[in-house]
């Protein structure tokens, strides 16, 4: 069962990356997001008139997962439809949860790599220092954040069963992450509705937790990291629910697409 | 020739607007960028948000439309199976591509208007345009420069079937290098040299000068001249590339699979 899970994970990754050379894949998953991070850190340097870019490096390093977790995972069911596997997935008598989870394995790994690269670049380019910060807790925060973002990406991907405009949806979602996670500016600047929205979004609490870790506030850090993990789990459960509904409707109507 | 350009423009506008991704670039992107940049500049103490928030978001949207439409059109024609047809059509491939690019660029100007409307409606930003005439001159020069740049990119991407990857990868670097959302002076010296070889850098600076008000007309004219020279160089590169690509495509006969 584990072998099948890993095979499925690898097959999905292969489907995504086979058209590209290794360096092109790295360009897409890591280099390009890093340039995006540098752009927004430079905007912050100018707009907030600060040289201490720790908050923005942390926030944007976490947002580097967008390519893998949102655009990579979010397009999952659209790709399955293109590959012609949708029929098999809907009709197969096996658990769909493992299939959904398997598609998130490699994007999560790439997202973790991208975030680590983001923090390293932040250190080298913007002078962010890790002295006095517990690196194990940094690693834990990155892993929890990326799992949460991947589950959010899977939740969004389930809507690919119901509409054919996933590129539009995913691009809007990527901007919503920039606006509502506190990566680019403090959440308290948002109106009350925006602040509520921010709490629902993935990564918000992980970014805050990492900032607390840099400040040395471990108590708040633990609460926030647990909250981020719970947010991710909620998104996973919601994915499963949305998929089940879509599956039932597809079986009842004899259609593999709901739109 | 003009008839071909106009009919291609109209067809292109209809086709582009039918695509959800283009609608995102045209409508949602400037709105979301304006919100993001406004919140980032809110505590900056700036009094004129036009220069960086409204103009920055509008230009980012405009460039996004160019990347995801003008640059990607070759690939779309390839997938539709019509690339070889328009390549060998008697109307000439560069003319058809030019019509497509002009159509896209004109429609993409809507991003500037949407960005302005978002600024005014959501954030009550006052329209502060000190020199409208100079702004129009700068905008016109910017449009011409963007059209020429698009044709260079379209030419280069004709040879690749990984257009989707490359068009994704050119959006942010140009926004960064050309200072769409911050002055180029923020960049390190070495990177600034690269910025000043790119025509959009001058286009953005000219528009920003017009927003603040022209204090030194000679400097405006100087930058406009550099922008025109760079645009001319890009046009020559585009023409040269087309000739090279045309020859290579006819010899290899792999246009449809690149």
Q: What is the ipTM of this complex?
A: 0.86
Rounded to a whole number of angstroms, the distance from the CA of B56 to the nearest CA of chain A is: 11
- Whether residue B187 and residue A42 make contact (CB cut-off 8 A), yes or no, is yes
Rounded to a whole number of angstroms, the distance from the CA of A178 to the nearest CA of chain B is: 8
Please tell me the predicted confidence (pLDDT) of residue A257.
Answer: 59
Q: For the residues A203-228, what does the mean pLDDT come to? A: 92
* Ramachandran class of B63: left when φ > 0, alpha when ψ lies in -120 to 50, beta otherwise: alpha
**pLDDT band at B250, cuts 50/70/90?**
confident
Burial of B62 (C-beta count, 10 Å sphere; 0-12/13-18/19+): buried
Task: Give the residue on A whose Cα is nearest the Cα of B53.
Answer: A47
Q: Is A171 on the interface with B (CB under 8 A)?
A: yes
- In whole angstroms, give the CA distance from residue B83 to residue A129: 52
Q: Is A168 on the interface with B (CB under 8 A)?
A: yes
Of A38, A168, A184, the CB nearest to B21: A168
- In whole angstroms, give the CA distance from residue B97 to residue B100: 5
Task: Give the residue on A whose Cα is nearest the Cα of B177.
Answer: A39
- Whether residue A171 and residue B21 make contact (CB cut-off 8 A), yes or no, is yes
B35 interaction partners in chain A (CB closer than 8 Å): 179
Q: What is the pLDDT of residues B32-71, one digit of tens each?
A: 999 999 999 888 777 778 888 999 999 999 888 887 777 6
Query: Of the given ranges (A176-180, A199-203, A206-210, B166-170), which has the lowest mean pLDDT?
Result: B166-170
A193 interaction partners in chain B (CB closer than 8 Å): none
**pLDDT band at A49, cuts 50/70/90?**
confident
Task: Give the residue on A whose Cα is nearest the Cα of B175.
Answer: A39
Please tell me the predicted confidence (pLDDT) of residue B73.
Answer: 79
User: What would the two tokens of residue A163 be?
Assistant: 């509409």
- Whether residue A46 and residue B37 make contact (CB cut-off 8 A), yes or no, is no
A173 interaction partners in chain B (CB closer than 8 Å): none
- Whether residue A172 and residue B172 make contact (CB cut-off 8 A), yes or no, is no
Rounded to a whole number of angstroms, the distance from the CA of B186 to the nearest CA of chain A is: 7
Please tell me the predicted confidence (pLDDT) of residue B136.
Answer: 93
The C-alpha angle B63, B69, B70, rounded to 5 degrees, equals 80
Q: For the residues A181-210, what does the mean pLDDT come to? A: 92
B64 interaction partners in chain A (CB closer than 8 Å): none
B175 interaction partners in chain A (CB closer than 8 Å): 39
B169 interaction partners in chain A (CB closer than 8 Å): 27-28, 32
Q: Is A179 on the interface with B (CB under 8 A)?
A: yes
Assess contact for B102 and B185: CB atoms under 8 A: no
Of B23, B32, B44, the CB nearest to A49: B44
B21 interaction partners in chain A (CB closer than 8 Å): 167-168, 171
Whether the per-residue pLDDT at A259 is higher than 70: the answer is no
Q: Is A190 on the interface with B (CB under 8 A)?
A: yes
Rounded to a whole number of angstroms, the distance from the CA of A55 to the nearest CA of chain B is: 13
The HSE-up count of residue B197 (CA atoms within 13 Å, CB side) is: 4
Start-to-end C-alpha separation, chain B: 28
Chain A residues 100-159 within an 8 A CB cutoff of chain B: none
Whether the per-residue pLDDT at B257 is higher than 70: the answer is no
Q: For the residues A106-122, what does the mean pLDDT come to? A: 87
Alpha-carbon A209 to chain mean position: 17
The C-alpha angle B172, B177, B183, rounded to 5 degrees, equals 115
Sign of CA dihedral B143, B144, B147, B152: negative
Please tell me the predicted confidence (pLDDT) of residue B59.
Answer: 92
Q: Is A19 on the interface with B (CB under 8 A)?
A: yes
**C-alpha torsion A113→A224→A101→A238, nearest 10:** -140
> How many residues appear in chain B?
258
């Amino acid at each position: 069962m584990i072998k099948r899970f890993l095979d499925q994970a690898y097959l999905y990754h292969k489907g995504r990356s086979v058209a590209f050379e290794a360096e092109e894949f790295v360009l897409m998953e890591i280099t390009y997001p890093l340039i995006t991070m540098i752009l927004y850190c430079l905007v912050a340097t100018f707009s907030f008139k600060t040289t201490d870019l720790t908050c923005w490096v942390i926030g944007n390093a976490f947002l580097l997962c967008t390519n893998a977790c949102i655009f990579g995972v979010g397009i999952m069911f659209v790709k399955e439809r293109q590959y012609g596997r949708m029929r098999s997935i809907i009709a197969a008598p096996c658990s769909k949860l493992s299939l959904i989870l398997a598609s998130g394995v490699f994007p999560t790994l790439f997202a973790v790599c991208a975030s680590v690269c983001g923090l390293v670049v932040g250190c080298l380019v913007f002078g962010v220092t890790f002295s006095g910060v517990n690196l194990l807790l940094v690693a834990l925060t990155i892993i929890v954040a990326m799992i949460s973002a991947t589950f959010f990406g899977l939740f969004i991907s389930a809507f690919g069963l119901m509409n054919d405009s996933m590129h539009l949806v995913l691009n809007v979602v990527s901007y919503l992450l920039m606006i509502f996670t506190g990566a680019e500016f403090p959440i308290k600047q948002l109106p009350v509705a925006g602040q509520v929205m921010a709490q629902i979004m993935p990564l918000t609490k992980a970014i805050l937790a990492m900032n607390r870790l840099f400040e040395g506030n471990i108590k708040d850090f633990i609460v926030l990291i647990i909250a981020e993990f719970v947010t991710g789990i909620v998104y996973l459960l919601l994915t499963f629910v949305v998929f089940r509904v879509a599956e039932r409707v597809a079986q009842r109507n004899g259609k593999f697409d709901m739109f | 020739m003009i008839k071909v350009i106009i009919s291609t423009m109209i067809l292109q506008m209809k086709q582009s607007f039918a695509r959800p991704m283009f609608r995102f670039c045209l409508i949602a992107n400037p709105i979301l960028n304006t919100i993001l940049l406004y919140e980032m500049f809110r505590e900056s103490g700036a009094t004129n948000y036009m220069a960086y928030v409204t103009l920055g978001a509008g230009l980012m949207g405009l460039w996004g439309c160019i990347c995801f439409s003008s640059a990607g059109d070759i690939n779309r024609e390839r997938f539709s199976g019509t690339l070889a047809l328009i390549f060998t059509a008697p109307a000439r491939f560069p003319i058809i591509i030019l019509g497509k690019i002009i159509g896209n660029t004109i429609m993409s100007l809507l991003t500037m208007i949407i960005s302005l409307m978002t600024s005014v409606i959501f954030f009550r930003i006052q329209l502060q345009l000190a020199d409208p005439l100079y702004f129009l001159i700068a905008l016109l020069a910017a449009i011409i420069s963007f059209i020429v740049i698009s044709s260079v990119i379209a030419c280069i991407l004709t040879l690749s079937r990984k257009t989707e990857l490359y068009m994704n990868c050119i959006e942010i670097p140009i926004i960064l290098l050309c200072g769409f959302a911050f002055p180029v002076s923020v960049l390190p010296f070495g990177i600034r040299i690269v910025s000043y070889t790119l025509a959009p850098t001058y286009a953005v600076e000219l528009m920003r000068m017009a927003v603040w008000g022209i204090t030194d007309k000679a400097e405006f004219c100087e930058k406009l001249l550099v922008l025109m020279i760079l645009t001319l160089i890009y046009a020559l590169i585009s023409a040269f590339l087309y000739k090279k690509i045309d020859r290579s495509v006819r010899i290899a006969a792999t246009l449809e699979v690149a």
